[in-house]
């Protein structure tokens, strides 16, 4: 559902840019970390596991087939924003915290927050 919404936004942005005279070459790349949703979007076959997905969420398939959108998967281990949206195992949290430029300045040794 999120990919389909992002595709709709991407299609609107593409249309707007073309209306003001910019020539858009290639596709807009959407990056996601959910393998299942990317596989469903890339596969035009509706099976038993996907028949519950509303027709409006298949919009992304049209965008992919006409070349306006392409999908790229980044595993969660490479998505620094995950630190801000979900709980992570401590080692992954440390890596992403460093990527955000945040450091532990020893606050735990003082007993404070």
Q: CA-to-CA distance for 6 and 8, rounded, in angstroms?
A: 5
Binned at pLDDT 50, 70 and 90, residue 89 comes out as: confident
Number of helices followed by number of strands (H, E) in the chain: 5, 2
pLDDT digits (tens, 9 = 90+) for 14-54: 889 999 999 888 888 888 877 777 777 777 666 665 555 66
**Reported pTM:** 0.60
Binned at pLDDT 50, 70 and 90, residue 112 comes out as: very low
Return the pLDDT at 19: 93
Mean model confidence pLDDT for the chain: 78
Exposure of 17 in the CB half-sphere (CA atoms within 13 A)? 12
Which pair of structure tokens corresponds to residue 5? 């919404």
Which pair of structure tokens corresponds to residue 16? 């707007």
Query: Can you state the percent helix, strand and coil of the chain, rounding each to 5?
Result: 50, 10, 40
Residue spans per domain, the chain: 1-73, 77-104
């Amino acid at each position: 559902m999120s990919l389909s919404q992002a595709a709709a936004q991407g299609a609107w942005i593409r249309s707007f840019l073309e209306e003001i005279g910019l020539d858009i070459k290639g596709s807009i790349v959407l990056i996601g970390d959910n393998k299942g949703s990317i596989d469903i979007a890339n596969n035009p076959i509706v099976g038993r596991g996907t028949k519950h997905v509303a027709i409006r969420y298949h919009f992304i398939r049209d965008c992919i087939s006409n070349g306006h959108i392409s999908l790229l998967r980044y595993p969660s281990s490479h998505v620094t924003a995950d630190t801000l949206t979900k709980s992570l195992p401590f080692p992954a949290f440390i890596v992403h915290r460093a990527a955000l430029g945040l450091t532990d300045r020893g606050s735990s040794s003082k007993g404070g927050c």
